[in-house]
Structure 1
């Protein structure tokens, strides 16, 4: 009899593959970012920094894009403000609302993060072939859209 855990190792389902990919990607990304001058940022901060526009974003938009509750985003923004990565500013389009705006330190982190991720993707494309990797991304994007309804 094949044990469930053994079957999951040999034929992982979408959830297992997604989590392995996410955790491995985060480990490599945040290790490299730490080496490049951003040791205090943690994977949880990605719910803000990965979706943050250079001109600023509303917390409600960050919550919707990341799939996190607005309260979680608020806590993460508080942490990132304390670390010097973002600041809250009045939204010029609606003075009652606040924008979460990256500081120079935040912009540096975002640029380095984009560069590290581009390097990681290029390495995967080289390992499996450009065409296969492009097809994988197209299919994975379709699966994500179907799963999230977006």
Structure 2
């Protein structure tokens, strides 16, 4: 078997990270959350965020974000409120349960990050995260698939 490429390694890390995070959250009182909810929750500001902003931050379509917000409203983690800056717009705002989950998520993520930093050394971890951010930013700017046009 060949060495795993960037996509394979990123997927392995993502799936293992999600499994650890959501297992810990379930044990801490949030058993109904699923990794797909991260497309909203990971990008949600504590004072609220527009759905269009969540879509842009997460790279998901607005319709996907809308469906996830609906699920999270039903689960009691967020609510929709009028944006005080623009009455036509709505904000997705975390509820008390949502804020509790955000705090617990931050603690779990800090534990995961700390474990990796301990394993490879703080300097190596900081360098890795810097490089990985650069790669993530660059990959996020990569053009989509090339679609051949007739005659060209």
Tell me whether the two structures share a fold, i.e. TM-score over 0.5: yes
Higher helix share: 1
SS at match of 1:95: strand
Deviations 1:70-124 (A, max 9, x none): 0000000000000000000000010000000000000000010011000000000
Q: How many residues align?
A: 142
- Distance in 1 (alpha carbons) for counterparts of 2:63 and 2:112: 32
Map 1:56-71; keep pairs closer than 5 Å. 56-71=48-63
Give 1:145 deviation, angstroms. 1.1
- Distance in 1 (alpha carbons) for counterparts of 2:137 and 2:63: 25
Map 1:103-118; keep pairs closer than 5 Å. 103-118=95-110
Aligned Cα root-mean-square deviation (Å): 0.9
Question: What runs of 5+ residues in structure 2 fail to find an aligned partner?
Answer: 143-152
SS at match of 1:145: helix
Show structure 1 runs of 4+ deviating over 4 A: none
Normalised by the length of structure 2, the TM-score is 0.92
- Distance in 2 (alpha carbons) for counterparts of 1:143 and 1:63: 20
Question: What runs of 5+ residues in structure 1 fail to find an aligned partner?
Answer: 1-5
